[in-house]
Structure 1
Amino acid sequence: MEQPLKLTTEQQRIDRFQRQVKSMGFRFFLLKKLPMAWLAGLRVKHLSMERCETTIPFKWLNQNPFRSTYFAVLSMAGEFASGLPALMITRSHSVKISLLVVDLQATFSKKVTGKVTFVFDEVPALAQTIQDAVESKEGRTYQATSIGYNTEGEEVARFAVTWSFKAKS
């Protein structure tokens, strides 16, 4: 007896991606694909179709000569807060979609000497931009803003990452 063809929907692929991010396997993914993120201690606190939160600790490896977190470490965590949802959404589509950072703007408003949580809460708008790129078969860009907060809830950094998306033919 022939097994029925099992179709995977976009939502099923998103659910699977979210489960993978929560697993120990994700740390191995970071080690293999983004070793600096793994070494720096980057973690995913929350990932959904509404928002993504990433954290980065203050530790010896992440510091600059001024005893605060090096700006490149903050940039990595800020970019990842919008990059992970972008990756989740592009992988949920049945067509292959290229994604690329084409611009990055940053504002640092306070010295960082502790753990920082970056929040990206524009996932629905990001998803719509990706859907537009798929439907139009043309490149689309989206400027994603992620905001970093210290443990006291004060804004310490803000990143505007411009992503480019294009469905591959």
Structure 2
Amino acid sequence: MRYQKNSAFTLVEIMVVVVIIGLLAALALPTIKNAKQNSQFTRLLNDFRVFSDAVEQFAFTTGDFPEDSNTGAIPTGMEDYIQIGVWNEGPSIGGSWDVEKSGPGYLSAIGVHRYEVDDDVLLAFDTRYDDGDLTAGVYQQIDSDRYYRIIAGD
């Protein structure tokens, strides 16, 4: 009696492949998460800088900082200084862009109102790009749902 060679995979071989794929996925997930957060932080940092520069240019041209605006609304007179498409796209951390004038410890600030990330994410951003303290420095959490870049302190 002759045996024919079976060209199919055995159950053990399939299980080994599944385990290897699982291990590779487990190793890749933290890297993917870090890449996503790095991208989110880079975009947020860039948007903060661009919008802060726009507010400073407005102040230089007009002699005063823009007035408070409703959350998500471009302040009156800022239309020529703000990239409207980027503004309307919203922050990478969710929520809406907002401009504040004269608050506790600042004369002008621009930031995110009603952000959609945990405070741990804000702290990681603050640690990387500022002083690691959400209540001090250039980037501050000025209320429980407001994270702002201080443009001018008082």
How high is the TM-score relative to the length of structure 2?
A: 0.31
Q: Which has the higher helix share?
A: 2
Larger Rg: 2
Larger RCO (CA within 8 A; separation ≥ 6): 1
How high is the TM-score relative to the length of structure 1?
A: 0.29
Q: Which has the higher strand share?
A: 1
